[in-house]
Structure 1
Amino acid sequence: MLARGNRIVRGDDYRNTVRRGRRSATANVVVSVVRRPATDAGPTRFGFIVAKTVGNAVTRNLVRRRLKAIAYELLVSVPSGHDVVVRALPAAAQAGWPTLLEDVSRSFARGVEKAA
């Protein structure tokens, strides 16, 4: 599970990241990445959006748990000072773990390159 310091919890932070962040999309997810100002630099924070179009509550929670586990694995290799929002697309419900892991890590790397 992600520590509180590694989670986006405020709605304003979600909106800022989605609106101003660099987007990178795959068939299963859309990843938005924004670099925080140097005065607010800290650990990289992740947020997740899994809409009803993904499936029923059980399916959405499964997808959200998988995305959180992927973010936890990425924490050891990511640069600090970024906000990341991962939006699950409907195809994510049928995607397996390796596919989601590859999609999120590749999209995150592209987003960080663009945001730098």
Structure 2
Amino acid sequence: MQSDFKLLHLKKRVHFLKVAAQGQKIPTSSLVLQFLNRHDNQPGRVGFTVTKKVGNAVVRNRIKRRLRAVIYQAGKEICLCGVDLVLIGRNKTFSKPYPHIVHDFYQALKKAGMKFDA
């Protein structure tokens, strides 16, 4: 992981609910990307969630680690200023090879109209 890349996290339930209610949702085979454009110049924030339907705590935590790795790998390639992102893990996030998850993430960003240098 890059040491100079700082990522702010969504931590409170109310922020997750705001992104879900007011933002847009882009599903892919291995993840769901929800995003809300805040229209400010504050740094972007990212949240990760996996429902209990997906599996036990070990599986859910592994999925969240994989999603965090995708965000950190994208790092400086994506412009997150003024955007809140929520990545929702699915069953396939656990079983799919990591490069496929990265590809799905970039496809979701492309559908969302976000800028990136990949």
State TM-score, norm by structure 2.
0.82
Q: After TM superposition, give the deviation of residue 91 of structure 1 in Å.
A: 2.0
1:7 partner letter: H
Q: After TM superposition, give the deviation of residue 20 of structure 1 in Å.
A: 1.4
Residue 96 (1) aligns with residue 97 (2): yes
Q: After TM superposition, give the deviation of residue 29 of structure 1 in Å.
A: 0.8
Which 5+ residue runs of structure 1 have no aligned equivalent?
none
Cα contact 1:54–1:93 (8 A) shared by 2: no
2-side partners of 1:74 and 1:36: how far apart?
A: 21
Residue 18 (1) aligns with residue 20 (2): yes
* Fraction of identical pairs, as percent: 25
Q: Quick check: which one's helix share is greater?
A: 1
1-side partners of 2:44 and 2:110: how far apart?
A: 13
Cα contact 1:55–1:93 (8 A) shared by 2: no
Task: Write out the 4+ residue segments of structure 1 that deviate beyond 2 Å after TM superposition.
Answer: none
1-side partners of 2:42 and 2:110: how far apart?
A: 18
Q: After TM superposition, give the deviation of residue 27 of structure 1 in Å.
A: 1.2
Q: After TM superposition, give the deviation of residue 64 of structure 1 in Å.
A: 0.5
State TM-score, norm by structure 1.
0.83
2:76 aligned partner: 76
Alignment of 1:3-14 (within 5 A): 3=6, 6-14=8-16
Residue 85 (1) aligns with residue 76 (2): no
1:53 aligned partner: 53
Cα contact 1:48–1:85 (8 A) shared by 2: yes
